[in-house]
Amino acid sequence: MEQLKTIGRELALSSQVGWGSSKEFLDLVKAIGEAKSKAEEERIIIADIELLRKKIGEPDVPRRKMKEYIIRLVYVEMLGHDASFGYIHAVKMTHDDSLLLKRTGYLATTLFLNEDHSLIILIINTIQKDLRSDNYLVCCAALTAVCRLINEETIPAVLPQIVDLLSHQKEAVRKKAVMALDRFYQRSPSLVSHLIPEIRQKLCDRDPSVMSAALCALFDMITAESEPFKNLTGSLVSILKQVVEHRLPKLYDYHRTPAPFIQIKLLKILALLGSGDKHTSENMYNVLGQILTKGDPSTNIGNAILYECVSTLSAIYPNQKLLQHAAELTAKFLKSENHNSKYMGIDALGRLIKINPECAEDHQLAVIDCLEDPDDTLKRKTLDLLYKMTKSSNVDVIVDRMIGYMRTISDAHYKTDISSRIIELAERYAPSNHWFIQTMNQVFEFAGDLVPAKVAHDLMRLIAEGAGGEDEDADNQLRSSAVESYLQVLGEPKLPSVLLQVICWVLGEYGTADGSHSADYIIGKLCDVAEAHPGDNTVKGYAITAITKICAFEKGAGRKVGLTSECRSLIEELSTSHSTNLQQRAYELQALLGLNDETVATVMPMDASCEDIEVDKSLAFLNAFVKSALEKGARPYLSESERLSIGGITTLASSNNQNDLSHSLRFEAYERPQLPVPSLSSFQPTVVREFEDQRTTNNNLRATYAGHSTSMTDTQLVNTEAASLRLDGIQKKWGRPTYNNTPASSTSSADRGRSAAGNSPAEFSKDEPVESSLKSAVESRYVTSRKQRPEISEEKQKLAASLFGGTFPKSQSSSRSSGSTGKVSKSSHSRSQAPHIGANEQSAQMRSANSSTSIDKGHEKSLPVSQNLATPDLLDLGDGDSAGPSSDPFKQLEGLLEVPSTAMPSKPVIPQQVPDLLSLYESTPSSGSPSINLIG
């Protein structure tokens, strides 16, 4: 009590001097209030921001002055300007020991920061300390900040302290602790699910404010799942009964109504618990009847409780006696002169007709009065009620009212909503197809492009399919009436694009079907539509397609087609259009006019828009072509299973499937790295052996290398130079100048091309051509694979069901599903080749790229000095003139990797004695050095 008196004296003293604010701050508020323009207000605020930025950064600012600066920053933020430079000072103020300054800091922090702000981490420790404070006002300030600033990640840091505060001696602290737990449940239900029993216990708290806070938390939990809380029905009914009987202190009364907000919250919870549960609902009937009897309809808060009671009765298991009482109360609402009461009556009537649709018949005049009321909000609510009351007997009247209202509104959002409802009602309860077409035309005309394109397609399908029966005369009459109505609509000055698309399609399909209109007349109308909308390529595309159909129908019937000059100019214009779609349509029309009548009748038959397209997936019509191609020597097609069965050759699709299976987590140890050494021996073993025999006839060095290569596995000697590192012509950044100082060997472009293509040395023999042997071997084994595309079927979504579908009969579909066309997926072939190169070949090629010496036919010359000397270290950035032995860095790297024993020679190879193998394949000798051409 003493603390409250102290705070009261401080507040009273502050109020005498403007809440402790200086004259400068009061003048600022006054200047902003008297500003005559937005620009003047901006200048005042910007000037004050610069002043605050300067003063707030000064050292040793008095605490009372800092409090005023923080309040002025709040004022700046409220006016839409940035005050982020002062956020840290608001956070610092929460650490102050003064209660007034601490609460000011918490207030500013909750207004400045959001739960994801980076400064939140600085306030967590302060909140934890304040939650353990002996001063309950400090605890309340911290709990208020917790509800605004704590996010899902920081909830565990303060949750234990808040749970302890549930048993605090002060009711205000217990109430705010329950509110904090409710906030945590909204953010992350899993973090506080174990605390639901503690929240349920707070329903029995001795203070009504704590109980009301627990009701709010339970309402969120019951909304998510009501079944675990069914056993609370008795307790909640008992609490509601005590509230209605004025058992609570008069402090909770509002306009002589006992705790109205607690009553409303309890009624909402009971509506959730009693929905579809007869046993639970029976426990509520007595207290609900008591509320209907004792309710005070003379005040707004009394009407609010009565309306919530009617909503609860319409949600739980129905009781006829109570429903009759609710209907009488709804009639009183509708007859009231207050618009708020009428609005509640319309909404309550919409809830009651879900249970008993006949109750609306007694209030037809009242509903019509609300529909003609000038209050736009009440009129919209009445239209929502009419939407729920619609059935086959009154659909034409209600839809006509809704279309009339749609003409008067300009709000695009609400116009879209009401047009969708009209379309739904017309599709569900249309008395005839003719009425449906006329209604859709009006919706297209007044709603325009807000109508979804699917609605236009459904309308076209309905006109094409007709009534859905066997009566062709009725279908033809429907189409003729549609043509006549659309020809009249074309006289309107401004039509939406979606309606023009429907008009063009209908005129193209059925414009000349009944013979009442000539082809020239319909074509002239379509040309006018295309010329009137030069910027709408979609409408122009529909128009040129409709003209194509009319010309095709005329030619198919054996009548001569004569295009007017207007039509020809349109075709020429579209032939040069920037849109390739329009160009194609124009060219198709020109090509169609050049065909004979029989072909045109086959290509575009009359009234075949809804016929199913038959697709021959076996492509039997290509048998003659395939047979002719095979006779001329073409290779037959192999299926994927046949390709997989050929000699272990895998297709690209199968390899991708194997890779997909290997993407799962593996927990075994990684294998030791090995050098990949591919070879063409699997393709041409005889050629490789021939090459090995040829190499063994050379000197000892060549024989040694041959022995090394013959021990290699079948995955060697493919694409040696393409996969190797080429250093010739590369500017040297590291190392001594002696590194790679020998000119590169002059290898012909033809040789390099063969090496890059993966040719083995055996291909350079005289007996076999270079390109033909390897190419034929590879192409005969690798067969391309094609990956089939999955079939894509178009499924049309059903129109949105009624918001209260249980009240009315199910939707009667007025259209048949059109046939679906299958697509033959194409397969694509691709050759797969995975050349690899061995480590020894890499080092040999590196040395051959830096060597210019060739091998003589009778003997072998000694290697150059640059190869005999060890290669310097690449990372040695010392003086280039320093002498000393050097080593090959690539050979050193080779020693770090384990090579299989089958791929290693029996004796280690000395780096200085490895021959220059690429010189064997050189066709052009180096200058000053004789060489042997192995090709001959």
221-235 pLDDT, tens digit per residue, is 999 999 999 999 999
Considering only residues 779 and 568, tell me which one the structure prediction assigns the higher pLDDT.
568
- Residue 181: closest CA among 198, 157, 201: 198
Residues in CB range of 849: below 8 A, 6 or more apart: 726, 727, 728, 744, 745, 918
Residue 568 has pLDDT above 70, yes or no: yes
Task: Say what the pLDDT of residue 676 is.
Answer: 66
Considering only residues 745 and 21, tell me which one the structure prediction assigns the higher pLDDT.
21
pLDDT tens-digit map of 178-191: 999 999 999 999 99
Rounded to whole angstroms, the Cα distance separating 172 from 180 reads 12
**H or E element that contains 408:** helix 395-408
Residue 253, strand partner residues: 258
Of 237-251, 395-409, 643-657, the range with the highest mean pLDDT is 237-251
Residue 703 CB neighbour total at 10 angstroms: 13
Residue-wise DSSP of 248-296 = S-GGGEETTEESHHHHHHHHHHHHHHSTT-HHHHHTTHHHHHHHHHH--
Average pLDDT in the 899-920 region? Answer: 43
For 13-47, give one letter per residue: b (16+ CB within 10 A) or e. eeeeeeebbeeebeebeebeeeeeeeeebeebbee
Residue 417 has pLDDT above 60, yes or no: yes
Residue 779 has pLDDT above 80, yes or no: no
Considering only residues 628 and 918, tell me which one the structure prediction assigns the higher pLDDT.
628
- Residue 742: closest CA among 846, 858, 625: 846
Residue 910 has pLDDT above 50, yes or no: no
Task: Say what the pLDDT of residue 47 is.
Answer: 92
Task: Report the share of the chain in percent with pLDDT over 90.
Answer: 30
pTM for the full predicted model: 0.57
Residue 257, strand partner residues: 254
Average pLDDT in the 643-659 region? Answer: 56
Residue 258, strand partner residues: 253
Name all domains of the chain by residue range, CATH numbers in brackets.
452-594 (1.25.10), 620-838+855-884 (no CATH)
Of 486-500, 723-737, 766-780, 852-866, the range with the highest mean pLDDT is 486-500
Q: What angle do CA 802, 803, 805 make, to 5 degrees?
A: 55
Are 435 and 396 contacting, i.e. CB atoms less than 8 angstroms apart?
yes
Residue 616 has pLDDT above 60, yes or no: yes
Considering only residues 811 and 664, tell me which one the structure prediction assigns the higher pLDDT.
664
User: pLDDT-based confidence at 757, cuts 50/70/90?
Assistant: very low
Q: What angle do CA 793, 798, 804 make, to 5 degrees?
A: 160
Residue 425 has pLDDT above 60, yes or no: yes
Mean pLDDT check: name the lowest of 608-617, 725-734, 798-807.
798-807
Residue 663 has pLDDT above 90, yes or no: no
Are 265 and 212 contacting, i.e. CB atoms less than 8 angstroms apart?
yes
Task: Say what the pLDDT of residue 726 is.
Answer: 53
Rounded to whole angstroms, the Cα distance separating 294 from 244 reads 8
pLDDT tens-digit map of 126-158: 999 999 999 999 999 999 999 999 999 999 999
Rounded to whole angstroms, the Cα distance separating 766 from 883 reads 47
Considering only residues 356 and 18, tell me which one the structure prediction assigns the higher pLDDT.
356
Average pLDDT in the 909-928 region? Answer: 43
Are 185 and 192 contacting, i.e. CB atoms less than 8 angstroms apart?
yes
Task: Say what the pLDDT of residue 50 is.
Answer: 92
Q: How many residues does the chain have?
A: 936
- Residue 757: closest CA among 780, 781, 773, 744: 773
What are the structure tokens assigned to 528, written together?
């006018």
Sign of dihedral through CA atoms 556, 557, 558, 563? negative
Tell me, what amino acid is at 221?
Answer: M
Task: Say what the pLDDT of residue 25 is.
Answer: 82
Indicate the Cα dihedral angle 231, 233, 234, 239, nearest 10°.
130
What are the structure tokens assigned to 259, written together?
């705790």
Average pLDDT in the 592-606 region? Answer: 83
Considering only residues 781 and 435, tell me which one the structure prediction assigns the higher pLDDT.
435
- Residue 841: closest CA among 720, 714, 756: 720
Contacts 24+ apart (CB under 8 A), 616-624: 617/822, 617/824, 619/824
pLDDT tens-digit map of 524-543: 989 988 888 888 899 999 99
- Residue linked to tokens 């100019």: 569
Mean pLDDT check: name the lowest of 103-107, 152-156, 811-815.
811-815
Mean pLDDT check: name the lowest of 223-232, 319-328, 706-715.
706-715
Rounded to whole angstroms, the Cα distance separating 652 from 828 reads 10
pLDDT tens-digit map of 452-489: 888 888 888 888 887 666 677 888 888 888 888 888 88
Collapse the DSSP code of 451 into the 3-class scheme (helix H, G, I; strand E, B; otherwise coil) and give the result.
coil
The 3-state secondary structure of 326-357 reads: HHHHHHHHHHCCCHHHHHHHHHHHHHHCCCCH
Indicate the Cα dihedral angle 170, 195, 214, 286, nearest 10°.
-130
Residue 546 has pLDDT above 80, yes or no: yes
HSE on the CB side for 358, CA within 13 Å? 2
Task: Say what the pLDDT of residue 771 is.
Answer: 44
User: pLDDT-based confidence at 274, cuts 50/70/90?
Assistant: very high
What are the structure tokens assigned to 852, written together?
């210019």
- Residue linked to tokens 């077409």: 437
User: pLDDT-based confidence at 919, cuts 50/70/90?
Assistant: very low
**H or E element that contains 380:** helix 376-389
Residues in CB range of 554: below 8 A, 6 or more apart: 512, 519, 560, 561
Residue 552 has pLDDT above 80, yes or no: yes
Task: Say what the pLDDT of residue 740 is.
Answer: 44
Average pLDDT in the 884-910 region? Answer: 46
Rounded to whole angstroms, the Cα distance separating 570 from 528 reads 10
Average pLDDT in the 666-687 region? Answer: 58
Distances (CA, A) of 534 to 531, 537, 539: 6, 7, 9
Rounded to whole angstroms, the Cα distance separating 424 from 233 reads 40
DSSP 916: -
Task: Say what the pLDDT of residue 647 is.
Answer: 54
- Residue linked to tokens 């062709």: 472
Rounded to whole angstroms, the Cα distance separating 385 from 172 reads 44
Rounded to whole angstroms, the Cα distance separating 709 from 716 reads 9
DSSP 872: P
- Residue 837: closest CA among 695, 680, 708, 703: 680
Mean residue pLDDT across the chain = 74
Average pLDDT in the 24-30 region? Answer: 85
